[in-house]
Structure 1
Amino acid sequence: MAVAEQQSLETPAQKADARVPTVIVDDVHIVYKVYGAGTGKGSATAALGRLLLRRGSPNVRRVHAVKGVTFTAYRGEAIGIIGSNGSGKSTLLRAIAGLLPPERGRVYTDGQPSLLGVNAALMNDLTGATNVILGGLAMGMSREEVRGRYQGIVDFSGINEKGDFISLPMRTYSSGMAARLRFSIAAAKNHDVLMIDEALATGDRAFQRRSEERIRELRKEAGTVFLVSHNNNSIRDTCDRVVWLEKGELLMDGPTDEVIKAYEKHTK
């Protein structure tokens, strides 16, 4: 009885402290170097000359893509990342995935982040079936796990709804079919941190509903999901928290409806 009374007296701050952080983004700055015309960037001779002379290229422009972004994500959350084109959304995901080193700041993750993007590479000369197997193995599944989940991946993607496309090379697929198969492969595994870049923008409404349901399942299984999308309805249906980036800066971080309303008002 005493324990029950103690639990009921917990403050919101104490309950928040009990949450498990999965991603900590601490004052992250990401800078790209863009080489202009006439720099000799593509010339091995020019590059060797710059190294020998310890001299940089004179026509390099620095693009500050992410500027001092800080937030913490917790286990069980689904977080939408919104913002206009060029605001740094995909760049931030790549940094969380460990694909882009920050110039300043740090990213800490609990577990292995997995980045799923519409442009994620599959092997076009191989069949969809082979890509399912290789994709599952690449995510760390055993051969037995891949075999056990194979049919579920194919059925979820809807690739075979209009024919035996899974046995055809990936180069014969439309961009939407390939994107659906990518999502289906990635969603077959329970991820510590799953990042989805515009994946729900492809496919018909039925596939989008299946995708949204799968993200909810991933959340229940204690994973953290990040979703980058220009489709505010997908964000509303899927996420309970939204991070809004604009020109590389964090403008707002809070409940989905609150942040999206502010974003839509800003973009009118």
Structure 2
Amino acid sequence: MLEAERAERAARQAQFGKIPTVIVDDIHIVYKIYGAGVGKGSATSALSRIVSRRTSPALTEVHAVKGISFTAYKGEAIGLIGSNGSGKSTTLSAVAGLLPVESGAIYTDGQPSLLGVNAAMMNDLTGERNVVLGCLAMGMSRAEVKQRYQDIVDFSGIQERGDFVSLPMRTYSSGMAARLRFSIAAAKTHDVLLIDEALATGDTAFQKRSEDRIRELRKDAGTVFLVSHNNKSIRDTCDRTIWLEAGVIRADGPTEDVVAEYEDYMKSR
């Protein structure tokens, strides 16, 4: 799409009250895997290359996302669904700027923030220190961190079973760590918030709090994307859903319609 055409379309959409925050324009994402199929482990692969006198490892390309396009608007909560390997997390990583695209383009209004179950936290530091550092990394002042600190800890629920906030993160269960990550990220208003399965490990009460917070973020800021295998969370949180399968968009529309179509597809497999 030409730059002039993209600007004209965005202006028309803004005129009718829909402000675009993310434009994904015909993107392709290809993973290049070196040494695939040679053997298990890098040592075996290296020995095989030496023995066969190969100067470079074998190269396998995986075409993970195949020419998808969509536009997200301010105030939307968009679910991304699909079977394993369909390209959901890959797409979020590309929107966040963490993965390059082979072709096509991604345009964002503001800074996307990716929250996933593997979001970096420092295992040797306490929960308290991770809260402080995480908030500072998002651009909060020390005064803002001090003001919001207790709300973040209370929201996460990690103190309900003891004073875990004063213990190193390595002592946390995966669920506790995921809840703390979400609580830190949700303490700030984001232009575009990308959530990748970060709610999957929380209990029912935490999921309800998280869904309520996502609705607040939609009102206060830009756009929320949610990747989840929990269709109930998608239904409860998102008004629009994109179904990806084998790297292409199968459906994009109202959540109930798209999720119902996806569930019928999964039953027929």
Instruction: Judge same fold: TM > 0.5, yes or no.
Output: yes
State whether residues 13 and 20 of structure 2, in contact with CA within 8 Å, keep that contact through their aligned partners in structure 1.
Answer: no
Equivalent residue, structure 2, for 1:4: none
Query: Which residues of 2 match residues 30-41 of structure 1 at below 5 A?
Result: 30-35=29-34, 36-38=36-38
State whether residues 13 and 19 of structure 2, in contact with CA within 8 Å, keep that contact through their aligned partners in structure 1.
Answer: no
Answering whether residue 192 of structure 2 is matched by residue 173 of structure 1, we say no
Q: Could you tell me how far 1:121 is from its partner in structure 2? A: 1.6
Q: Could you tell me how far 1:100 is from its partner in structure 2? A: 0.3
Q: Could you tell me how far 1:222 is from its partner in structure 2? A: 2.7
Q: Could you tell me how far 1:144 is from its partner in structure 2? A: 1.0
Residue 196 of structure 1 aligns to a residue in which SS?
strand
Match of 2:177, as an amino acid?
A
Query: After TM superposition, what 4+ stretches of structure 1 lie above 3 angstroms from structure 2?
Result: 13-17, 55-58
Q: Could you tell me how far 1:34 is from its partner in structure 2? A: 1.3
Residue 132 of structure 1 aligns to a residue in which SS?
helix
Q: Could you tell me how far 1:202 is from its partner in structure 2? A: 1.3
Distance in 2 of aligned mates of 1:104 and 1:150:
42
Residue 63 of structure 1 aligns to a residue in which SS?
strand
Residue 220 of structure 1 aligns to a residue in which SS?
helix
Equivalent residue, structure 1, for 2:126: 127
Aligned residues: 247
After superposition, the C-alpha distances for 1:142-161 in whole angstroms (9 at most, x for unaligned) are 11111111000000000101
Query: Which residues of 2 match residues 71-86 of structure 1 at below 5 A?
Result: 71-86=70-85
Change in 2 beyond 3 A, CA 1:224/1:59:
same
Distance in 1 of aligned mates of 2:230 and 2:15:
29
Change in 2 beyond 3 A, CA 1:253/1:57:
farther
Q: Could you tell me how far 1:72 is from its partner in structure 2? A: 0.2
Residue 176 of structure 1 aligns to a residue in which SS?
helix
Match of 2:261, as an amino acid?
A
Q: Could you tell me how far 1:176 is from its partner in structure 2? A: 0.3
Q: Could you tell me how far 1:59 is from its partner in structure 2? A: 1.2
- Where in structure 2 are there 5+ consecutive unaligned residues? 1-11, 47-53
Distance in 2 of aligned mates of 1:15 and 1:223:
14
Q: Could you tell me how far 1:18 is from its partner in structure 2? A: 2.5
Q: Could you tell me how far 1:242 is from its partner in structure 2? A: 0.1
Equivalent residue, structure 2, for 1:111: 110
Query: Which residues of 2 match residues 43-54 of structure 1 at below 5 A?
Result: none
Equivalent residue, structure 2, for 1:141: 140
After superposition, the C-alpha distances for 1:91-119 in whole angstroms (9 at most, x for unaligned) are 00000000001000000000000000011
Distance in 2 of aligned mates of 1:32 and 1:90:
13
Match of 1:81, as an amino acid?
L
Query: Which residues of 2 match residues 4-23 of structure 1 at below 5 A?
Result: 17-23=16-22
Change in 2 beyond 3 A, CA 1:27/1:162:
same
Percent identity over the alignment? 73
TM-score (norm. length: structure 2):
0.87
Equivalent residue, structure 1, for 2:150: 151
State whether residues 81 and 241 of structure 2, in contact with CA within 8 Å, keep that contact through their aligned partners in structure 1.
Answer: yes
Change in 2 beyond 3 A, CA 1:205/1:61:
same
